[in-house]
Structure formats: structure tokens, C-alpha cells
Amino acid sequence: MSNDAFASPRVLALLAAFQAVDAAICVQPVPYVAKCLDDVRYPQRNRWIFAPIKAASAVGLLGGIRVPWLAKLTLVMLTIYFSLAVGAHLRVRDIGLNAVSASTLLATYGVLAAKGLAAKSS
């Protein structure tokens, strides 16, 4: 790893795989995902956006293995995404497993984003 590396390639690849699987299950949301979106009152007509966003994040994380600024950008955007997700859960007082999952992902991506932004830029 170079001096600019802030997340191991293995971590970025694992997170990319997670995002890719998440994108796949959002194409035609599985019942669990659909219920989660129903619970936070996310409009049906806008749900199509999740698959491309998550697919793009998978590509960004994977590409970030070779291009550190791309990993940094993707991690910042995922931090924003999961901030909005946690906010959606809190707005409807949904503090169950889905809110915990979103919060855990927010913390994970937030820490990596902060670490990346603190790393010396290329």
C-alpha cells in the first residue's frame, strides 16, 4: 500500500461487494427491503433510485482500490447517504434493527471517510 492508503484494498473490496449485493436486492426490492422503505414512508415512485446509487457506490469503492480520491469521494457520499437513511428512521421513530443497521453503516463509512480525508492527498 502507498503512503496515501487509508483503507486496505480488502476492506474496500468487501464493502464494494456488500454495496453490489445491496444494489441487486434493490432492483426489484425483496419484501424485507420494501417493508423497510414502507416503514420510513419512502415514496414508491422514487424507489428506483436505490439500485443505481448502490451500484455506483460499489464501482466507486472498487475503483478506489487503485484511485484513492475515488474511494474518498465514494466514502463521503456513502456517509451522506447513510446520514439521510438514519434521519429517515428517526423521523418516523423507527429505532429497530433497520435503524441500527443504517447507523452502523453510517459509522463505518463515516470513520473511513474521515480517515481518508485526513490522509495526505495525492
pTM: 0.89
Neighbouring C-beta atoms of residue 48, cutoff 10 Å: 11
Mean pLDDT per 10-residue section of the chain, whose length is 122 residues = 69 97 94 94 96 98 96 97 97 94 96 87 51
- Residue 2 domain-assigned? no
- Residue 75 domain-assigned? yes
Domain span including residue 46:
9-118
- 68's grid cell: 484513492
CA atoms within 13 A on the CB side of 9: 6
Phi and psi based region of residue 119 (left: phi greater than 0; alpha: psi -120 to 50; beta: remaining): beta
- Residue 1 domain-assigned? no
> Which residues touch 20 (CB under 8 Å, ≥6 apart)?
54, 55, 58
pLDDT-above-70 percentage for the chain: 93
Longest dimension (CA), the chain: 45
Count of the separate structural domains present in the chain? 1
Which tens digits make up the pLDDT trace of 23-37?
A: 999 999 899 999 999
